Amino acid sequence: MRGSHHVVVQNRRVRFEFSVRRNVTIVRGDSATGKTTLMSLIEAYDRLGDASGVEVVCDRRCVAINNANWEAVLAGASSCIVFLDEDVSAAKTPEFARRVRESDNYYVIITREDLPNLPYSVDEIYGIHTSGKYADLRRTYNSFYRIYEPDEPREMGPVETVITEDSNSGHQFVKAVCAADINVTSAYGKSNVRKLLSKHKGQRVLVIADGAAFGPEMGDVHLFAKAHPEVGVYLPESFEWVILDSGVIDGNRIKDILDHTEDFVESGEFFSWERFFTHLLVQETKDTYLRYTKAELNSAYLNGRVLESVLAAMGQVGSLLLRQGEAATERDGPRDRAETSGDASKSGDKE
């Protein structure tokens, strides 16, 4: 399944209206915001159709699953929007994650749990808020809002430590760009980021991770950053997305894909958009001087216009890293960026 799908669910008392555009959407937030009410309306309509008194308007079938029937329902569900309430403990199992990966459904999961087996996006974690009462004063209107707004980290002073989620090309790029006195360290897996944050408590830390799949870690990292204002978090979709967004590959066609990614990602083929962007970048650069591999950074990304474009695409974070790098060069003399990056995957990090 691909594309963005608008859903309206209502009865005489309440109306919910929202869109889903990736394979996994998470709904959480305060108690008493209507999550269970939404779920009970979907469940009633799924069971009884129009005779439930509930109206569901969507171009895809909306189905509700529970602990007892989820395997049977998913076996017969295709191109559906599947809803789960927080009592479905199966949602955190590897088996459920496998079924999500192999299916072409979209899933709307009501939960406060991290669900580490599902690589969902930080942009698809929502709360529900009441928008008010409009045309019909007897009906309350509810919509989704993003819990973690995808803005850049607040203005930071000089960074002491950069934590990246793995040691792949993105890490190698950051390590090559950063001044030698910045500790660039890999968490070797996104689930280790929170432990590294605790380890570097008190330092000015910048976390750089792939937002397209960082959802399971976001609750912890957000809480930590809230309690420690010296911590900044930068979550582009992925490093590959940054390169694609920088304009170094092609003009309008790539831009169109990035502007409407949901129309290009087949959910049954790509478990997360992170994998789609990697696939796209590898395909677009093969047989060119910018040939991209995830495991080892092509040194062409560390030179001249390409380097400048990628840093510019990183916005405020790119400027910050560049500023610190230039200050260090002025102080200590130039470094060979290609050499700095090339051995990252072999020799490990500074720690």
Partner 1 sequence: MLSIVFGDVENAVYHPPTYFDNTYLDEWITDPRTREMIRDVDKSEVVSARAIDSPFLGSISVRELSGGVKTLILMLFDDSGRIFNASSCGDNCAKWICRIAREKDLTINLHHVMDFSSCDGFEAYMINTGRTVKSFEEYLDEALSIEER
Residues that bind partner 1 (CB under 8 A): 13-14, 28-37, 86-87, 89, 92, 112-114, 116, 130, 140, 194-195, 197-198, 201, 219-220, 223-224, 226-227
If you write DSSP's letter for every residue of 20-87 in order, what string do you get?
A: E-SSEEEE--STTSSHHHHHHHHHHHHHHGGGGT-EEE-SS-EEEE-TTTHHHHHHH--S-EEEE-TT
Nearer CB in complex with partner 1: 19/66: 66
Which residue in this structure is represented by tokens 């790098």? 325
Distance CA 241, CA 251 (A): 14
CB of 274 to partner 1, least distance (A): 22
C-alpha neighbours within 13 Å on the C-beta side of residue 78 = 1
Let me know: does 235 contact 210? Beta carbons within 8 Å.
yes
CB of 198 to partner 1, least distance (A): 5
171 strand-pairing partners: none
CB of 100 to partner 1, least distance (A): 19
CB of 314 to partner 1, least distance (A): 27
Let me know: does 122 contact 235? Beta carbons within 8 Å.
yes
C-alpha neighbours within 13 Å on the C-beta side of residue 154 = 8
CB of 241 to partner 1, least distance (A): 27
Let me know: does 56 contact 8? Beta carbons within 8 Å.
yes
Nearer CB in complex with partner 1: 5/35: 35
Nearer CB in complex with partner 1: 5/190: 190
Q: Tell me, what DSSP letter sits at residue 202?
A: T
Nearer CB in complex with partner 1: 202/334: 202
CB of 19 to partner 1, least distance (A): 22
CB of 24 to partner 1, least distance (A): 16
From residue 19, give the alpha-carbon distance in Å to each of 24, 76, 101.
12, 23, 21
Nearer CB in complex with partner 1: 140/164: 140
Residue 330: Cβ within 10 Å count: 9
Nearer CB in complex with partner 1: 51/227: 227
Nearer CB in complex with partner 1: 34/325: 34
